[in-house]
A and B are shown apart, each in its own frame.
Chain A
């Protein structure tokens, strides 16, 4: 079936970087943009950006430009989202998803990133 499977939880110190992966299956990876969003504890959803798996073009919310990098490896149908210079308020569950209306509309299960000293 169509699914996105993300990597496991991470605990990082402030100033470090973290890289979360998202593996697609059940559909052609290059057919739909892959989006990333996050949700801080007890808060709402926040859109971060997307990648076009066809040509690796990216688009980020201004808040994350310069600190977030999304990449992909089409050989293994996987996207990666890396955040650098982590701060305490980056503690959140990070999701990948296909949000295009024409797409399957699936989300990954989420990856908890905890920033703690």
Chain B
């Protein structure tokens, strides 16, 4: 099975900050990775698919990139609505696997 690691596991940031979250895959998954945002008590919401494609309706301050087996989610200017937990998901190989999550909270 493909393992995903995320770093950091948590971070504290201020409104307006640039935030970067990394997801590393244990083997080549090409561009088969998505990013999800989850708020407490709510279902996850897809932000990015195919490593860098922005989901319709998601603000352009969110972006995704890839380099080999390392994937990055960037929020260019953190907004109050962005405080949440972020998960990556690989769907290149079955079984699909989620990363352990990164919690972004208010500094």
Contact = CB atoms under 8 A, between A and B. Distances in A.
Contact of A101 (B34, B38, B94): B34
Given A99-B89, A101-B53, A44 B101 contact: yes
A101 B34 CA distance: 8
Contact of A100 (B36, B38, B91, B100): B91
B45 A101 contact: no
Nearest to B58: A105
A101 B49 contact: yes
A72 interface: no
Q: Give the interface residue-count category, chain A.
A: 20 to 34
A44 B6 CA distance: 12
B55 to A, nearest CB: 6
Among B36, B46, B53, chain A packs the most CB atoms within 10 A around the CB of: B46
Interface in B10-58: 32, 34, 36, 38, 43-46, 49-50, 53, 55
Interface of B: 32, 34, 36, 38, 43-46, 49-50, 53, 55, 87, 89, 91, 94-101
